[in-house]
Structure 1
Amino acid sequence: MYVFGMAFSVVAIVIQDFDAIANNVGIRELIIIGLLNYYPAMSHLLSGIVVSMVMEYAENIVKVYLTTVALLLTAVVSVYLFNFHVSLAFFLGSRDLKWSIGIF
């Protein structure tokens, strides 16, 4: 699934860095640039595979529960790391989501 993302990344690199490539930038710099792009791409690729393997065998309630937990953990981490302010709409929506899981 991430093959499409990699294809778009290659096109963007060629368009943005065409001058550097055309002017024979040293092979060492190209390897460093390649590795800096390779590691995040592989991280996304592997995390996508792991998530798809977990979701393949999970029931619907587990999928909803995991999505809710991921949403809430992301919000909590964003408050501390990025100074994210939780709005009233977000709070009410997450509260309703937690209640609906409990009722289900």
Structure 2
Amino acid sequence: MAKITFIQPDGSTQVVEATPGTTVMEAAKLNGVPGIEAECGGACACATCHVYVSDDWREQVGAPSEMEEDMLDFAFDVRESSRLSCQIKVTDALDGLVLSVPAKQF
């Protein structure tokens, strides 16, 4: 299991456990993380699971695919650290991952 910390816009945190092979979005939804809407269910078709990857983790998480970059155009307040959590596969190497949830999702 990998532990993932979600930081809310108000600074509160929630640590969840995620099974390798699942996505960060699935872990967030299973654990009721506020602000991760995931309206498309993980199909990379809505950008409502947008998160910001902590600078310390950006290299391990990797860059978004071209399809993901196209969907991020629909997200609120996109930054260099923006990713769609449905496109981040959980691995043991991501144990300790820190993500921030945007103030709102579209």
TM over 0.5: no
Which one has a bigger Cα radius of gyration? 1
RCO (CA 8 Å, sep 6+): is it higher in 1 or 2? Answer: 2
Structure that is richer in helix per residue: 1
TM superposition score normalised by structure 2: 0.24
TM superposition score normalised by structure 1: 0.24
Structure that is richer in strand per residue: 2
